[in-house]
Every structure is written in C-alpha cells, then in structure tokens.
C-alpha cells in the first residue's frame, strides 16, 4: 500500500487523518481509493469528469506528477503521495 499525506486544509474531510494508506497501481487509482474512503474530498480534489483540479499539486516521493505521467504515474507499495491544493490569499 502507498501512503497519501494530507495537509491541514484537507484533514477535516478525512476525519482528521494526516496519512492514509491506499491501494492502487497509479496516482489516479490511489486518489480514487482516497475519495472512496472520504467522499468529502472529491469536490476539493477532482473535477466533475474525474480529473484533478488544476490547482491541486500531487507529488510522488517528492516529484511533481505533472512532470511524470500525471494520474497514470505508477505507484509502488511503499511510495508516498502528497496532495497540496494551492491556497490563495491577500
């Protein structure tokens, strides 16, 4: 299982969990497993057609998946996935 790490801003929709173990062969599978467990995260992470919102940054072992294969990036059993939604302020 890989581990998804959530920032503070997403933890409320995940029962306060900081790290969640999920199964999946790709980033997309892992995100779908996360949303399946915590449906409240769906609107914050995904567009209605199932793609990541453009303001959500995803890192696999510290590497931005936009420069890999995006949602199709393969995930290993001990990999760490970090979800970081951009936060704007003034």
pLDDT in tens, 35-58: 999 999 999 999 999 888 989 999
**Predicted pLDDT of residue 58:** 96
Angle at alpha carbon of residue 61, lines to 58 and 64, rounded to 5°: 35
Q: What is the CATH number of domain 2-85?
A: 3.10.20.30
Where in the chain does DSSP place strands (E)? 2-5, 19-22, 56-60, 63-64, 80-85
Pair type for strands 2-5 and 80-85: parallel
**Mean of pLDDT values over 76-82:** 96
Q: Mean pLDDT of all residues in the chain?
A: 93
Q: Is residue 27 scored above 90 in pLDDT?
A: yes
């Amino acid at each position: 299982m890989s581990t998804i790490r959530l920032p503070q801003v997403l933890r409320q929709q995940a029962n306060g969990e900081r790290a969640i173990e999920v199964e999946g062969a790709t980033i997309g599978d892992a995100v779908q497993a996360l949303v399946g467990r915590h449906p409240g995260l769906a609107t914050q992470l995904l567009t209605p057609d199932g793609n990541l919102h453009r303001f959500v940054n995803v890192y696999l072992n510290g590497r931005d998946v936009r420069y890999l294969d995006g949602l199709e990036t393969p995930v290993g059993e001990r990999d760490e996935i970090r979800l970081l939604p951009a936060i704007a302020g003034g």
